[in-house]
Structure 1
Amino acid sequence: MATRLHTYTKIMLTSMMIATSIGLFVPTTYAATEKESIQLSGRASYYGQVENGKPNGTGTIRWGDSKSYAGQWVDGIRQGTGKYVNKYTVKGRTFVVTYKGEWSKDQRNGLGEVRQIIKNKAGQTEANLIQQGQYENDIFQTGYTVTQALADPPFSFNYKDKDTSLQIYGDNQNLAEYWATGKLVQIQYRKGKIDKEYSIFPENNATKKVENQANLKYFKKIQPQVATYLKTFQTLSTKVPIASK
């Protein structure tokens, strides 16, 4: 009896730790079962809780050395919270993509976070991305995406929901100040029927130059409305460093 209680406690703590690590808690409970190893296919192996020959509860599946999912399962499909990792190489560049968050019907559904790191042949990180928000049927629907890359400008910031799209290119220093003073390289803002764009680069066309300055004045006017976006961009930008190998 004591052994069964200990096993059940470990199972529940594992589920809670997965959810807590991304700021979520899904009060899903499973019957306490012993963990088993299953060879699902030539490359796919599973270790975890099993019911009727299928993953059920918590466990980890690995597809060779390149892909894995660790988290919750219901009747053989990913359901609940978990972490998916995919590592692959294309023309000498290494990609590591991670999703940590909610799953439903074997797809990303709910709140989650994607991280993507791209390294070149020398092992140097050339791009680092973080994406946080709401996913539906494996598609990112609402939230924030911030990327730092070995590029000029180094940062791109994006927020989107069903009504709003904000894209900024520039640096991650003093975003609020640069928004108001026109020091950001480019701003693209769409909300409902509003569609405006500003660029730091001078326009050769006089009409375009006037429009560019008018849009900058508009952006200064709506700064209180975008303050939350800018603050979140600033915070997320610290989580995507570009570092040497």
Structure 2
Amino acid sequence: MIRKYLSFLTLALLFLMFTHKETEASNQKVSLTLPNGATYYGEVKNNKPHGKGTMNWGPSKVYSGDWHNGQRSGTGKYISDMLPKDMKVVYEGEWRNDRPHGTGIRRESNPELAFQRISKGLFKDHDLISGHAITQSIDSIWFEYLNGSTFLQFSVSDREQADKLIHSKLARGRIQVLNYYKREKSKPDYKGFEYARGMEDYGSSLSEGVYRTGDYEVMELHTGVSQRFEDEEHYRIENYKNGRLVSARDMRENGRFAGIVQGKINNNKHVLQPYLGEFSKLLKAIGNDPEPISCSNSPTSVCEAFPIKFE
């Protein structure tokens, strides 16, 4: 009996010593060079990034944060300024299995195209699946909100119109596009509308009814009415049922149709009210001007608008 007890005690002590050594090893910061040429400095386990650390893929792509068994998992910040079309990306938030997954914020920009986008909310892999986003380009600013049952999208022509709209609680500011879809529970159908007031009146259109997601997750009218300018003198009214066009006719425009669309937008601005607070924060975050073209000359070869401090 005593011999069995001593054997058990010896095994327990060896296990504790082994565990202690493994813990000490994982807390030590070392430098690694991976087969793909990336360099890593931080905590390791079994010769893989594990714990806290920073990895660089050349001079223009870097991640600093949590690692698990060689993959980005936990929380961390990723920066790249060498994506296709000179797009610069910063993501900060939760990761799982080497991908953005969980709560986070992603910033995308292309200074040469005067393009910026901020997405904030819940990510799955690389996609925002629930949250708010704002996109600023040369000729418009787009606002988006989505979750499992609601999708909202609207746009204005410039920053001045956006400020008027949001900070006056919808009293002022001209909306160009207003799309809203809401689904009940787990049904595939969304009830909603799409309104677009073109820069030129004959670019206006509207549709109302039941929508379903089509190719590339684009909403398509399933049952309802669609109206749009056919030419400068007519607008076309189309009726859809169960995804099929059942009737269509052309109406004389007589200068009325653009006013009808504007009235629809004005009467449905109230759907924006619950989201104005978060949109206001993102509008401030995106700034008035895109990043300067010279931002890639910063010490870490990423834009100073999105600074990060590495160990």
Q: TM-score, normalised by structure 1?
A: 0.74
Counterparts in 2 of 1:67 and 1:164: CA distance versus 1, 3 Å: same
Q: Does 1:40 align with 2:34?
A: yes
CA RMSD of aligned residues (A): 2.6
Counterpart for residue 167 of structure 1: 153
CA distance in 1, matches of 2:263, 2:86: 43
**Among residues 279, 292, 308, which one is paired with 1:233 in the alignment?**
279
Structure 1 residue 83 displacement after superposition: 0.6
User: Quick one: structure 1 residues 180 and 190, their matched pair in 2 at CA, closer, same or farther if it must change by over 3 Å?
Assistant: farther
**1:158 counterpart residue number:** 144
The alpha carbon displacement at 1:144 in A equals: 0.9
Task: State how far apart, in whole Å, the 2-side matches of 1:35 and 1:181 are.
Answer: 56
Identical aligned residues as a percent: 29
Deviation at 1:141, TM superposition (A): 0.4
What is the count of residue pairs matched by the alignment? 205
**Compared CA separation, residues 182 and 68, structure 1 to 2 (3 A):** closer
**Aligned partner (choices 94, 104, 107) of residue 96 of structure 2:** 104
The gaps in structure 2 that reach 5 residues or longer are: 1-22, 184-189, 205-228, 230-234, 238-250, 252-256, 294-311
What is the TM-score when the length of structure 2 is the normalising length? 0.59
Shift of 1:218: 4.3
Q: 2:121 — aligned with what?
A: 133
8 Å CA contact 1:60, 1:68 repeated in 2: yes
Q: CA deviation at 1:132?
A: 0.2
Matching residue of 2:309: none
Deviations 1:91-111 (CA, angstroms, capped at 9, x unpaired): xx6321011000112111110
Please give the alpha-carbon distance, in whole angstroms, between the structure 2 residues aligned to 1:54 and 1:98: 24
Tell me which residue corresponds to 1:3: none
Deviations 1:58-108 (A, max 9, x none): 001111112111000111111110011111165xx6321011000112111
Q: Secondary structure at the match of 1:238?
A: helix
Structure 1 runs (4+) greater than 4 angstroms displaced: 176-182
Could you say what secondary structure the match of 2:175 adopts?
A: coil
Change (3 A) 1:183 1:42: closer
126-135 or 225-234, larger mean C-alpha shift? 225-234
User: Aligned pair in 2 of structure 1 residues 89, 191: CA closer, same or farther (>3 Å)?
Assistant: closer
Rounded to whole Å, the distance in 2 between the matches of 1:129 and 1:136 is: 18
Residues 42 and 63 of structure 1, relative CA distance in 2, 3 Å threshold: same
> CA offsets per residue over residues 174-193 of structure 1, 9 Å max, x none?
22458456721111111123
Q: Supply the distance in 1 between the matched residues of 2:115 and 2:282 (Cα, whole angstroms).
A: 14
Distance 2:110 2:236 in 1: 41
**AA at the equivalent of 1:95:** M
Partner of 2:268: 219
